[in-house]
Amino acid sequence: MKKNVKDKLSKDVQVSSTKIESGPVTLDSDGNIVIKIHATPGAKKNTILDIDKEEIRTQISCPPVDGKANTELLSFFQNILNLKKSEIFLRKGLKSRNKILVVNCPKYNFIMAQEKVSPWMSSKELVEKLKIGDLVEFERTSKIGIKLYSHWGVYIGTKNGMYGICHLTNGEDVDKDLGGSSGSFTSGFGGQGGKALVRLDDIFDITSSDSKCRINNSLDEYYDPLPGNVICLRVKYRLGDYGYNLFYNNCEHFAKWARYNLATSMQAKIGKAIIYGVWVYGMSACPITGLTAGGLSYLGLEGYDVVRKLFPVEACLKNWIGKK
């Protein structure tokens, strides 16, 4: 097996997302590391053929006998990941080629504890995990439980029993349900959105007992975050600043500017790409053209953010501590 393939597999296990999503290496609801395998028996030697977006394709040097093939597969991955026999087991796929392996190992559990994105949880649970400079994503749902958008803030520490979250808000996002918010898609088009300002609130005033939030430092994978004390100073000097625009200055832009000196918003990019795609579709009356334009628009916005990170002149001039 090629060394780079083996290294990639080990890295995928180490940085596996805490979200329960599709992918070759994920976490289940119990926090166990799950590896999805497509195993073909009867090969001359154990080999990893490919690691794609959904599964790891392997060949096993064993006759196509279920028990022997499963034992050989477990032994193969035990060796790759340097695990004890008791730290990996087969959950699903006893009699098929699509297997589900589960890893329960203190070494990898420690790595997962340092993950950049935490599971969704209550604010009471989250405050036990927060560190100064962490970005906090708040789930905003309709009254029937459908997720509509996310609100973002920056944790700056605790004082007098208050867990401080600095965020861009019009005040209506300090609530317990949807009733209107600086993070919503509609608020970016005038109305209350224009009155949004940077303010400091207790995390328990931003959430209710049944709402969920999480640490989301996902961009740490691509950008070096600023030190916690610098992040704290940056947001404190912005307190009282106002202005809100869905596409260029929303709560997610502010939070990511504070941590990375890069104002970017996934929600805004998706919104802009959709609007651009719809506009092109209206002009061309061709759905394929519209979808293609929307996708290219999104990719273009991603590239624009990279340029701004490498050459942060605009960010330094407009958003640095001395702005006021």
Instruction: Read off the CATH number of the domain in which 63 is found.
Output: 3.30.1200.10
Global pTM value: 0.47
Q: Domain limits at 308?
A: 267-322
User: Is pLDDT larger for residue 61 or for residue 127?
Assistant: 127
User: Is pLDDT larger for residue 120 or for residue 64?
Assistant: 120
Residue 281: is its pLDDT beyond 60?
A: no
Verify that 235 and 317 share a domain, yes or no: no
Percent of the chain at pLDDT above 70? Answer: 55
Phi, psi of 152 (to 5 degrees): -125, 145
Separation of alpha carbons 152 and 254, rounded Å: 8
Verify that 135 and 218 share a domain, yes or no: yes
CA torsion through residues 274, 275, 278, 280, sign:
negative
Verify that 160 and 223 share a domain, yes or no: yes
Verify that 129 and 213 share a domain, yes or no: yes
28-74 pLDDT, tens digit each: 666 677 888 888 888 888 887 877 777 888 888 877 666 788 888 88
**Quick one: average pLDDT of 89-106?**
79
Verify that 59 and 103 share a domain, yes or no: yes
Residue 154: is its pLDDT beyond 60?
A: yes
Q: Quick one: pLDDT at residue 135?
A: 94
**Quick one: average pLDDT of 122-129?**
93
Verify that 142 and 43 share a domain, yes or no: no
**Quick one: average pLDDT of 136-164?**
83
**Quick one: average pLDDT of 288-296?**
40
Widest pairwise Cα distance in the chain: 72
Residue 114: is its pLDDT beyond 70?
A: no
- Residue 38 · residue 29 · CB < 8 Å: no
In a domain, 144, yes or no: yes
Q: Quick one: pLDDT at residue 43?
A: 82
22-26, 31-35, 87-91, 306-310: least confidently modelled range: 306-310
User: Per mean pLDDT, which of 49-58, 153-162, 278-287 is the most reliable?
Assistant: 153-162
Residue 218: is its pLDDT beyond 50?
A: yes
Residue 231: is its pLDDT beyond 80?
A: yes
In a domain, 181, yes or no: no
In a domain, 185, yes or no: no
What tokens were used for 99?
């297997």
Separation of alpha carbons 262 and 135, rounded Å: 13
Q: Quick one: pLDDT at residue 57?
A: 84
Verify that 216 and 127 share a domain, yes or no: yes
What are the start-end ranges of the E strands in the chain? Answer: 25-27, 33-41, 47-51, 56-60, 88-92, 98-103, 135-141, 147-159, 162-169, 197-202, 213-215
- Residue 319 · residue 257 · CB < 8 Å: yes
Q: Quick one: pLDDT at residue 317?
A: 34
User: Per mean pLDDT, which of 60-74, 92-106, 228-242, 300-314 is the most reliable?
Assistant: 228-242
In a domain, 141, yes or no: yes
- Which residue, of 220, 245, 262, is where some domain finishes? 262
Q: Quick one: pLDDT at residue 314?
A: 38
CATH no. for residue 143?
3.90.1720.10
In a domain, 234, yes or no: yes
Verify that 243 and 318 share a domain, yes or no: no
In a domain, 182, yes or no: no
142-151, 199-208, 261-270, 284-293: least confidently modelled range: 284-293
Q: Quick one: pLDDT at residue 227?
A: 92
Verify that 147 and 245 share a domain, yes or no: yes
Q: Quick one: pLDDT at residue 44?
A: 82
User: Per mean pLDDT, which of 18-22, 51-55, 63-67, 111-115 is the most reliable?
Assistant: 51-55
In a domain, 313, yes or no: yes
Mean pLDDT of the chain: 68
User: Is pLDDT larger for residue 239 or for residue 32?
Assistant: 239
**Quick one: average pLDDT of 171-200?**
49
Overall domain count for the chain: 3
In a domain, 256, yes or no: yes
- Which residue, of 235, 262, 289, is where some domain finishes? 262
Residue 287: is its pLDDT beyond 50?
A: no
Verify that 250 and 161 share a domain, yes or no: yes
**Quick one: average pLDDT of 73-101?**
82
Closest by CA to 190, choosing from 148, 254, 245, 152, is 245
- Which residue, of 262, 280, 312, is where some domain finishes? 262
Phi, psi of 53 (to 5 degrees): -75, -15
Verify that 240 and 275 share a domain, yes or no: no
Verify that 91 and 150 share a domain, yes or no: no
